[in-house]
Amino acid sequence: MAYRNILLLVHIASAAAWLGANLTQLVLTPWFARRGGEVAGSWFEATGLLAKRYYNLAGLLLGLTGVLLVIELGYAWSSGFVAVGITVIAIGAVLGIGFFAPTGDRLAESARAGGPVDAQRYLQVAALDTVLVLTAILAMVSRWKAGF
């Protein structure tokens, strides 16, 4: 397999990992939150783990292969789709560290303590993150403002 194809394979798989986990959270979070208690606590503990480890690995691979693809294929760093991709990865990193990890931990603690499990804001930010990922995918597929 050509170097380009391997890079593209890992790049697409990394984007799929990010998007797939987001979609899973959007579907399952309301279901777990309604159950409350230990069930919701375990779910939100797991989402915190995703934010701290899983998304970091997916984002790292996505960014690294993106940079290598730009170099390999000779696209300009000023290409619109490159800027969108870098921006979405940066926003995703900030959201993971600053919002998803601490919010997942807080919701887990609240659920285990028998408190309310209001996941509405969590779901809103997850939906925003998902729209950003889909926008980046569209930018890549369409090669927005591609330059060489």
Among 8, 16, 13, 43, smallest CA distance to 27 is for: 43
Model pLDDT for residues 13-44, shown as the tens digit of each residue: 999 999 999 999 999 999 999 999 999 999 99
- Residues 6 or more apart whose CB falls under 8 angstroms from that of 29 comprise 43, 47, 119, 122, 123, 126
Percent above pLDDT 90 for the chain: 95
Using 50 as the pLDDT threshold, list the residues of the chain that sit under it: none
What gap in Å lies between CA 55 and CA 33, rounded to an integer? Answer: 21
pLDDT of residue 146: 87
pLDDT of residue 144: 87
DSSP line for 27-79: HHHHHHHHH-HHHHHHHHHHHHHIIIIIHHHHHHHHHHHHHHHHHHHT--TT-
